[in-house]
Structure 1
Amino acid sequence: MFLEVFAIVLALGLLMFFAYRGFPVIVFAPIFTLLAVLISGKALMPSYTEVYMVNAANYIKTYFPVFLLGAIFGKAMELSGAASSIAHTIVKSLGSKRAMLAVVLACAVLTYGGVSLFVVAFAVYPFAAAIFREGNIPKRLIPGTIALGAFTFTMDALPGTPQIQNIIPTAYFGTDSYAAPVIGIIGGVIIFAAGLYWLERRRKQAELAGEGYGDNHKNEPESAGEAKYPNIWLSILPLVLVLVFNFLLSRGALTANTWYGEELLKSFNIANVKNVSSIWALIIALSIGIIAALCINVRRVQGKLAAGLTAGAMGALLAIFNTASEVGFGNVVKTLPGFKAIQDWIQSMNGAPLLSEAVSVNLLAGITGSASGGLSIALEVMGKTYLSAADALGISPEVLHRIASMASGGMDTLPHNGAVITLLAITGLTHRQSYKDIFAITVIKTVTVLAIAAVLSIFL
């Protein structure tokens, strides 16, 4: 059994190392998958074509519309100037004395409104750099500040967020994006407060040490304060429309659950409409948001739309194929003998499905360096087990949804995470300069969700 477990650990370690070094996951995930299969003594080609590729394709089939429309919506907000207008208004309103709070809120508003994490980083960075420079706050603290606002509580904790990490559990638990709102809000508030406390503490330490913004930095943005931006209320409108229509189509009067009859759904092999209605709702909400974002500043968008749509589509393709590669990897791994030992260890927390779920999702998200990839693998492998265990204990599937979603955004931000690498590249900083604060935010997020899962396990 040692050799079988070693095969999985070796393959995961190599995938993590090569991803950290910048090699494409699309290429190396299948290579290391087959390495694990070979060491485990299983059939190579059937594992690749009938397990790896089938599960990767199923993931793309299910979530490609969300990735594509999310990327296009973010691009539309960027092209129209709406994203920059929102960031500029929040940052300037709070001023340099509350620079960190301003940046966190700017990221949070955009992320919760449906703008992709990568677009948020690009949109907010120029204003973050300007206000940090004005407040003489070390530039090295910018990545951690953006990470708190964009990669944590608005990504997967707050109910209704249209980010993919909050949508994936709906397909496994028959829930919607507003599942367990109280738990999500409590978790979000704790993460926000603890994260901001850490960042402010780091700022004060730097101030006492006489450290300021610094000189000779890379990728310093041009001044962002002189540009003309769309009206702030028009800029917010697309975000509001996404949130409103997502709610109306998920839980409101227009709920997608009632659109089609049972017989029609069966003809499309849809056993439970709740497993797909959340994705339908988000597809329509994002489409409405895209149209609104393009219409608020038509003159600025003209001439850039074709290139912008192409860039958004290419970004969506890269993101979903990277994630699908990791999902394929995980689904092959779950068929190997060594995984049974790992699975037994995770599920050894008898009577505590919430804690077991939080651990497994966090662990797999950390290993793959992807919140959505780790979440999909964990729920694909053990989702039915958690659902059965929770049902026996009288725990709502909504609670399972929220814990799984929040856990995915914990250890996913290890050094090999694509969003972390991109964020550092945008800001012109290195892991050595700024990763300590990103990791601190990661630990806060992880501890919070594990603590909530433990408390719920005791009282539910």
Structure 2
Amino acid sequence: MSLLIVLAALVFLMVVAYRGYSVILFAPVAALGAVLLTDPTLVAPMFTGLFMDKMVGFLKLYFPVFLLGAVFGKLVEVSGFSRSIVATAVKVLGPSRAMLAIVVVCALLTYGGVSLFVVVFAVYPFAAELFRRANIPKRLIPGTIALGAFTFTMDALPGSPQIQNIIPTGFFGTTALAAPILGTIGGVFILVCGMAYLEWRRRVALAAGEGYGEGHLNEPAPPVDERLPPAWLAVLPLVVVGLSNLAYTHWIPDLYGSSHSFVPSVMGSPAPVVQDVPKVAAIWAVMAALLTGIVCVLITAWTAVTTAFAEGTKAAVGGAMLAAMNTASEYGFGAVIAALPGFLVVANAMSAIPDPLVHQAVTVTSLAGITGSASGGMGIALAAMADTFIAHANAAGIPMEVLHRVASMASGGMDTLPHNGAVITLLAVTGLTHRQSYKDIFAITIIKTIAVFVIIGVYYATGWV
């Protein structure tokens, strides 16, 4: 019965998300409904002591990354840099490779530090125009954007500044560059298989005589011809974010050491504030890198940015708050579900998996699926079981870098179920429904989940890290 309650809460949240309702509102409803059916006396204590505590704790750690990523992405957009990158990609790859062009642009933006949610808004107008010209069904746009923005550059490629690649650093003492060989192999696998799938879907539609279609919602206005900045200048801020993230990752531990404390300048004798630097160094590095990227955009596109700075940053802040609250609410939902007896049944079943890497991958991707959030599911899994994963890995002689990469990629496995915040946003922006386009998003989800077990196999076969 306890297991059925947990499954019912998950199905309920997926259904309301599928029907377009806000997970910020219904994640606590689903979580507390499960608590009510388990033990009614725990509803209020679970809400304040667990749901809100975990939700606020997530925001405390990661909201600055969401915020700076959104602001950076918005400045890249209003400066004309994103349009320049799209135009250059189309020119190089050709309009006949519209899908590949959109995937490449999404990958450049996300790997350069632009928030996944911002990429959706920035790329969609150009994707719609390219697909219209190439007469590719519009329903394939979400799957194409998902492949470019939600997969290999989010959690596989080493050095990614996305939050899914940052969270493991605080648990394993690693950096964003952990396991570069395995991450690259996993990223290439996802890209090749994902593009093969999308091209197959395009050919099937072409053979059936299906084109872009008519009567779509949220159709963007045709792009206006304008003078765009040169491609090298447009890419510069993305390169700056990547290189500065690498530099700050090395400089911060050297500057602060393994621990840093200070005494607040207030009345009385306050206790010192102590920071465990290895647990926050990667977060600080990404924040500093995004700030450096923002400064770079301001310097290189001052006139274009300042005219739209006020309204643009308002929109960015709103987008960051929505994305962070979606993820934090799902994080709170997952924390409550993980505290119920029904989840213990699931956890015990997963703990029976003998291999430490497979055990971690299954646990993380399962929680990511339950919460509908890669970062939320991974955060819950590592908070609860990181010590167990580390102990098993040490016993098997597995480096912490491998644990990092497996956890990061597993979080981006089954996270994109129908109630995922990024999926909901992507479909809303493109004016499509789950019924029209989720099939392709789910296919990409299967591919990126398989990729986790591919890199586990590669590690055991070769010992590469």
The CA deviation at 1:211 is 2.5
User: Which is worse superposed, 237-246 or 92-101?
Assistant: 92-101
- Give the whole-Å Cα distance in 1 for the aligned partners of 2:336 and 2:291: 35
SS at match of 1:264: strand
SS at match of 1:391: helix
Partner of 1:258: 254
Spell out, residue by residue over 1:233-254, the C-alpha distance to the aligned partner (whole angstroms, 9 max, x if none).
Answer: 2111111110000001114xxx
Equivalent residue, structure 2, for 1:274: 278
Which residue in the other structure is 1:176 paired with?
175
Kindly indicate whether residue 295 of structure 2 is the aligned counterpart of residue 291 of structure 1: yes
Secondary structure, in 3 states, of the residue corresponding to 2:124? helix
Q: Which moved more, 1:60-69 or 1:203-212?
A: 203-212
Mapped contact 2:117–2:323 kept (Cα < 8 A)? no
Q: Over residues 371-410 of structure 1, what are the superposed CA-to-partner deviations in whole Å (9 max), with x where a residue is unaligned?
A: 1111111212222211111111111111111111111112
3-state SS in 2 of match to 1:269: strand
RMSD: 2.0
Secondary structure of the corresponding residue to residue 438 of structure 1: helix
Within the candidate set 6, 15, 30, 1:32 is matched to 30
Residue aligning to 1:163: 162
Rounded to whole Å, the distance in 1 between the matches of 2:344 and 2:397 is: 27
- Flag the 1:384–1:294 CA change in 2: closer, same or farther, 3 A: same
Q: Distance in 2 between matches of 1:409 and 1:264?
A: 33
Contact 1:354/1:456 (8 A) holds in 2: no
The residue number in structure 1 matching 2:269 is: none
Moved more, 175-184 or 51-60: 51-60
Structure 1 position 332 matched with structure 2 position 336: yes
Partners of 1:416 and 1:17 in 2: how far apart? Answer: 8
Q: Which has the higher mean CA deviation after the structures are superposed, 435-444 or 420-429?
A: 420-429
Q: Which SS does the other structure have where 1:43 is aligned?
A: helix
Task: Tell me the residue number matched to 2:125.
Answer: 126
Instruction: Output the CA distance in 2 between the equivalents of 1:45 and 1:292.
Output: 48
Deviation at 1:299, TM superposition (A): 2.0
Pairing partner for 2:439 from 436, 442, 446: 436
Counterparts of 1:21 and 1:313, CA distance in 2: 26
- Please tell me whether residue 408 in structure 1 is matched to residue 404 in structure 2: no
- Structure 2 unaligned blocks of 5 or more: 263-271
1:53-68 counterparts in 2 under 5 A? Answer: 53-68=52-67
Matched, 1:391 2:394: yes
Pairing 1:300–2:304 present? yes
Residue type of the alignment partner of 1:205: V
Q: Contact 2:258 / 2:278 at 8 angstroms: preserved in 1?
A: no
CA contact (8 A) 2:186 2:454 kept: no
Q: Is the 8 A contact 1:361 1:374 kept in 2?
A: yes
Do 1:19 and 1:25's aligned partners in 2 also have CA atoms closer than 8 Å?
yes
Q: Deviations over 1:163-186 (max 9, x none)?
A: 111111111111111111111000
- Deviation per CA, 1:246-281: give whole Å up to 9, x if none: 001114xxx21111245634953334x221100111
Deviations 1:403-443 (A, max 9, x none): 11111112212222222222222222222322222211111
Provide the aligned length of Structure 1 versus Structure 2. Answer: 453
Query: Which of 380, 394, 417 is the aligned partner of 1:377?
Result: 380
Q: What residue number does 1:318 align with?
A: 322
- Give 1:459 deviation, angstroms: 6.6
Partners of 2:138 and 2:212 within 8 A in 1:
yes
2:256 is paired with a residue whose SS is: coil
Report the CA distance between 1:52 and its aligned residue: 1.9
Q: Among residues 354, 358, 367, which one is paired with 1:364 in the alignment?
A: 367
TM-score (norm 1): 0.93
How far apart are residue 72 of structure 1 and its match? 0.8
CA displacement at 1:458 relative to structure 2: 6.9
- Show CA shifts across 1:142-169 (max 9, x none): 2211111111101110000111111111
Measure the CA separation in 1 of the matches of 2:191 and 2:163. 20
Unaligned runs of 5+ in 1: none
Deviation at 1:25, TM superposition (A): 2.2
Deviations 1:318-348 (A, max 9, x none): 2222222222222223322222221111111
Residue equivalent to 1:451:
454
Query: Partners in 1 of 2:320 and 2:436 — Cα distance?
Result: 29
SS at match of 1:349: coil
